[in-house]
Structure 1
Amino acid sequence: MDASNSLAGPVAARLRRPGWRDPKLLVGVLMIAGAVALGAWAVSAAEASTPVYVARGTLTPGEPIGAEQVSVAEVRLGAAEADHYLPATDPLPAGVVAVRAVGEGELLPRAAVATATDLDVRPVAVPVTDPPSTGVAEGALVDVWVTPEVTDDEPPTPRLLAERLTVAEVARPTGGFAVGAATVVHVLVPTDALPEVLGALAARQAVQVVLVPGAAAP
């Protein structure tokens, strides 16, 4: 008997094609499907922006709001947060005004817009004795102080006339008219405070407008 034939040769292992019941194959399919779904969700979330109105410049109470005062920006907002702002998917309501100050570039809140009949402030021109600080500008908040005339040689005591008023406009004298001219600060006075403010201005008392630093208009 030939010894070479008595030795068994190596048996080649057969590779089986994995079936659908193979756990490794199922796990791989699930991982791929999960990655695809996650990627699709991420792309969808990135594109889920909301068009809202943005103030082109500072809006002050009483200022009419139209297409020239706002622009449109695409921002990502949650459903609850988006309800606080005017969506640009709808046209601006006709005849609306700002009822509170809105800063330049700020999203336009629903609560900052109403009809003119809902506005309870009136613009009043206040000539100030001394030039106000540079921070006294449109949209800023200021306190108005008055100093009565000196009587009986007693030093005058300034008193607070009105506080936290929104500045609608500041007219600073320039050019040849600057010498001796007064700066006029137009402030928005609540209607119930108008009698006292107008009375103080009519009495020609010394008036000072003091900036409220770091304060945001209501």
Structure 2
Amino acid sequence: MPTAVPESSEGLSPRFQRPGLKDPRLLMGLLLIALSIVAVVSVVSLGNKTEPFYVATRDMAVGEEVKASDFALADVRLAEAGQHYIPQEKTIAEGSVVTSRITSGQLVPATALAQELTDGRRTASITIDSAYASTLTPGKHVDIWIATKAQGTTTTYNDPEVVMEAAEVSTISNEESLIGGTGKSAVQLLVAEESLSAILKAINNEDKINLVPSDYKKQG
């Protein structure tokens, strides 16, 4: 039986010809591959895209006015979450007021700064023992209890009463030298305007003022 001899490429029928570089089918296939690669690279690039956002360079309490040096820029990848924070293109105006506590290194929330504190709270500074002040932290909420002096005496006090619940601790000064090295610390509170008069009166009269963490009451 005679052995079949393979035909040379020149002898192949047109149906089985190898596609040349100008073959539209080959060009279309190469184009599709190129488009697929570009699409994948684009998706990966978008997923890894970072943008500059403001971060705090120090702790900032509610009611504080800010300045440019209080912030720095950091390149972060937030995607859709970026709408909740302040990007570089939105300049932070000096003199803006902190409306919710910001900690050092934290991305600055878009709702944490305003032109003024509009929730009606005022600041009041109360002096307490440093040992107790050390158990408090900014952002914590306390109930303010006041025991007024009994009439005609400087050593006897009436039963304490709550003048405000859930006052927010703004700042704590543990530098005893600021108040004479007496073992006392100044705690600045954010209080309701209607409670401010009673608190200031107690301070001026040297009544006893106690701060009781609000969460103790909740746990009970």
Give the TM-score normalised by structure 1: 0.71
How many residues in Structure 1 have an aligned counterpart in Structure 2?
200
Unaligned regions of 5+ residues in structure 2, if any?
A: 10-15, 152-156, 216-220
> Do the aligned partners of 1:60 and 1:138 also contact (CA within 8 Å) in 2?
yes
Matched-pair identity in %? 22
Which residue of structure 2 lines up, in the alignment, with residue 8 of structure 1? Answer: 2
User: Which structure shows the bigger proportion of residues in helix conformation?
Assistant: 2
How many angstroms does 1:104 deviate by?
Answer: 2.3
Which residue of structure 2 lines up, in the alignment, with residue 145 of structure 1? Answer: 145
Are residues 1:83 and 2:77 paired?
no
> Do the aligned partners of 1:169 and 1:185 also contact (CA within 8 Å) in 2?
yes
Which residue of structure 2 lines up, in the alignment, with residue 60 of structure 1? Answer: 61
Change (3 A) 1:33 1:27: same
> What amino acid sits opposite 1:40 in the alignment?
S
d(CA) in 2 for partners of 1:145, 1:35: 69
Structure scoring higher RCO (CA < 8 A, sep ≥ 6) equals 1
Give the TM-score normalised by structure 2: 0.71
d(CA) in 2 for partners of 1:104, 1:212: 25
> What amino acid sits opposite 1:41 in the alignment?
V
Which residue of structure 1 lines up, in the alignment, with residue 13 of structure 2? Answer: none
d(CA) in 2 for partners of 1:145, 1:209: 6
Residues 120-131 of structure 1: matches in 2 within 5 Å?
A: 120-128=120-128, 131=131
Change (3 A) 1:71 1:164: farther
How many angstroms does 1:100 deviate by?
Answer: 2.2
Unaligned regions of 5+ residues in structure 1, if any?
A: 1-6, 214-218
Which residue of structure 2 lines up, in the alignment, with residue 4 of structure 1? Answer: none
Root mean square deviation, CA, Å: 3.5
Bigger mean CA deviation after superposition, 27-36 or 202-211: 27-36
